[in-house]
Structure 1
């Protein structure tokens, strides 16, 4: 509503420009997720002790997003120092660039850059360089999917920073790449000092000072085109509704050669393993939709008391294996979900009293790893729903999902008028008359 209030006093031409931009899906609520309204990444900067020229701090990132996680190659955290601070040493993380430390004649600091960029250490780091919640290659799982592994921490010793609560200044302009753009971070705010419990649980210590930074995600900032799409089919209609053409881009070998790869190409292996194989840029199998991920929802069977759905997730990206993937589906019958096969399930209730949203993810060591494009690049499961006679119907697309997310990104649905529909009443009447005529003829012939 605030976006529209701000239009007051604008000229007609300015309002026209605003409407045009809105049609390009650029709007004020782009970072707001209705299915996870409180989701964010919170950074806590805890000063745990003072040093002769600064302090020692533990920085922890908490992923409070229910279904969006940080995937390989992991997070990169940056900021701008308020004064002329340096990082003397670090544990559990490292700066990617030391910067110019020439003014220090002996024992140069770990990093002298005004705008350092910090990354997590890799698994297998020696124990004397680790702290709790570190060394996972920058991967942080979502809060709902793995609540015991939703944080990442590192420790740093900061010099030339001030040695008391009155002289120390918080860093500014925090940035978070996870691993690409998408997060916008607010300013550091002084918060209630954090408390820490010793491993034996018998003593509680308290931070000298705590700053909190909140980062929120916007799919529009993360990528300019969608990353996934949804296709539909049903047992009662032969029509398979594909993902819309050019959903995530178009095949255009004239202006963008190599924009996709044909799976039957004899040069497939050389392209996949060639230059840029470690790039974050997707290498997509040539399809009509050109999306890295397709989710297919098939209404499979209809029983007297139940109905059954098959869900298939297919990876068309030759450069990406999705570990710890998840799917979020919104459908009104999830409050009557009876059984799910080979996927984990958790209800999401952003509006508490309405249970119409489900989070699905793979079973550990079985199908929680979605391989890159190829014969093994898919996972699937089936869902069994109990019918609620007051609401259940196959008419008007009711059996298909309202919204689908893959790894936290909203997938493009087909247009509603393309959904598989029930045979119309006229077809059923004509079919019944034909059956009656054949039955009658048979009766007279064999009478």
Structure 2
């Protein structure tokens, strides 16, 4: 086969795009993680159908926090939404052609949000009305499901005439997901409350949404600082870890701007976070401190600080990669769950808050800090404090990878430094004595 001079660059570009597109959707720490949206047609109406839409988060450590998910699609024909239970469309659209009974939404591409807790009972269905908050499967499986009911008109009234929606989108605060096209699957089977009767949906289709780095923030949203008992030096977050300061990007503590918004827990008008001015400019800083060394164990303190004055981080998660996590003995004031997708020896784990105690990381200020300690048993074959081994390899907060310091900046062992000083001093004394001998 003969290629012209344009074939090789074109082929290379195609290969790069294919590799990158797969990398976007694949998470080695959570290879099967996704959000699956199931659309069950429960009954037919004179001009369409009634469906229950169920959103299930199968991700181990990524969740959707307040103000919640936003779900959208494009109709294949001229469908309208007559009504909804457990959710609502954000815009009604142009319904001027309808007289008398006006649809809930006439837009070709509707956008739907969850209802807030506390709505009247007749507006609720099971697993609805959580303000769009969707917990991760690893943290709270019972809260990893969200549902709503939709009555669709001007649609087909049978399996042969219904057309599946397309161009699905799923967004959450600060991040987005890439969604597949709808795929018909066997109708869902439902069991009655007493377990004696089985029913099934008229038809069912699934949509799979995976976390997309492309749609996430262009800058990191967290950073890591380090310290240890054997060195007085604190390694700070790298400068400009999450962007650099400008005139409007941050506020100093005690300013009038902070006093006017603290406690409101509302996003800024321009949707930019209201951050405390720091050299790293991150909303979240994670500090890893090697605290104590015992004969068979060692102890670490983890602190998480919120520098965002307008966001409470609900149901936060912290994922750590470290080779000694397979020997975690005890964790204080955080919950812990190991993550071991491929390896027989686990080197990654998820930390998260205890319910009703510290599962909410409050906005910046006096209460914007949570911390825990963990005790790890030493593996005599691999354990060492040399060359920064005691520090984590990677840290993720709420599923976002945090900016780490460079290895050469880690707190070093004083023994090695002390040895170097002794060698240097001995050499200097030797040279001085040599010179005196020839004086």
Same fold (TM over 0.5): yes
Cα shift at 1:173: 0.4
Deviation for aligned residue 1:430: 6.2
Q: 1:282 aligns with which of 273, 276, 286?
A: 273
Q: In structure 2, what is the Cα distance between the partners aligned to 1:275 and 1:353?
A: 44
1: CA distance, partners of 2:119 / 2:106 = 24
Shift of 1:426: 6.3
What is the number of residues matched between the two proteins?
419
Question: Could you tell me how far apart the structure 2 residues matched to 1:312 and 1:248 are?
Answer: 19
Question: How far apart are residue 219 of structure 1 and its match?
Answer: 3.0
Q: Distance in 1 between matches of 2:388 and 2:170?
A: 40
Query: 2:306, 2:361 within 8 Å by CA — same for their partners in 1?
Result: yes
Structure 2 alignment gaps of length 5 or more: 1-5, 426-439
Residue of structure 2 equivalent to 1:264? 254
Alignment of 1:215-254 (within 5 A): 215-252=209-246
Secondary structure of the structure 1 residue equivalent to 2:29: coil
1:344 equivalenced with 2:335 (yes/no) = yes
Deviation at 1:31, TM superposition (A): 3.1
1:409 pairs with 2:382: no
Q: TM-score, normalised by structure 2?
A: 0.90
Do the aligned partners of residues 415 and 303 (structure 1) sit closer, same or farther apart at CA in structure 2, a change above 3 Å counting? same
What residue in structure 2 maps to residue 445 of structure 1?
A: none
Alignment partner, residue 418 of structure 2: 427
- The corresponding residue for 1:178 is 172
Counterpart CA distance in 2 for 1:265 and 1:382 is 33
Distance in 2, Cα, partners of 1:181 & 1:10 = 35
Matched, 1:358 2:349: yes
User: Of the candidates 21, 26, 31, which is equivalent to residue 25 of structure 2?
Assistant: 31
- Return closer, same or farther for 1:278/1:81 CA change in 2, 3 Å cut-off: same
- Answering whether residue 8 of structure 2 is matched by residue 10 of structure 1, we say yes
SS in 1 for 2:259: helix
Offset at residue 198 of structure 1 (A)? 1.7
Q: 1:170 to 1:267 in 2, by over 3 A?
A: closer
Superposed CA deviations along residues 99-128 of structure 1, whole A, max 9, x for unmatched, are: 111221111111111111111111011111
1:303-324 deviation line (CA, Å, top 9, x unaligned) = 1111000000000000101111
Query: Cα–Cα, structure 1 residues 169 and 288, in superposed 2: closer, same or farther, change >3 Å?
Result: same
Deviation at 1:258, TM superposition (A): 2.2
Cα RMSD of the aligned pairs, angstroms, is 2.7
Structure 1 pair 105–258 and aligned structure 2 pair: CA distance change class (3 A):
same
Instruction: Provide the residue aligned with 2:373 in structure 1.
Output: 382
Matches within 5 A, 1:263-342: 263-270=253-260, 277=268, 280-342=271-333
Q: 1:198 aligns with which of 192, 197, 201?
A: 192
Deviations 1:12-52 (A, max 9, x none): 9x979x99x9xxxx775133211011111101011111111
Taking structure 1 as reference, are residues 393 and 289 closer, same or farther at Cα in structure 2, changes over 3 Å only? same
* In 1: Cα distance, 2:305 partner to 2:50 partner: 47
Asked if 2 retains the 8 angstrom alpha-carbon contact of 1:182 and 1:223, the reply is no
Q: Is the 1:32–1:218 contact (alpha carbons within 8 Å) kept by the matching residues of 2?
A: no
Q: Distance in 2 between matches of 1:39 and 1:176?
A: 15
Alignment of 1:130-141 (within 5 A): 130-141=124-135
User: Do structure 1's residue 63 and structure 2's residue 57 form an aligned pair?
Assistant: yes
Answer yes or no: is the 8 Å Cα contact 2:396–2:402 preserved in 1. yes
Alignment CA distance shift 1:425-1:227 (3 Å): closer
Note the alpha carbon deviations across 1:194-240, whole angstroms, 9 max, x for none.
11122222222111111110111123312111100111111111221
For residues 190 and 289 of structure 2, what CA distance do their matches in structure 1 show?
50
Asked whether the 8 Å contact 1:395–1:422 carries over to 2, the reply is yes
Deviates more, 1:234-243 or 1:173-182: 173-182
Which residue is 1:369 aligned to?
Answer: 360
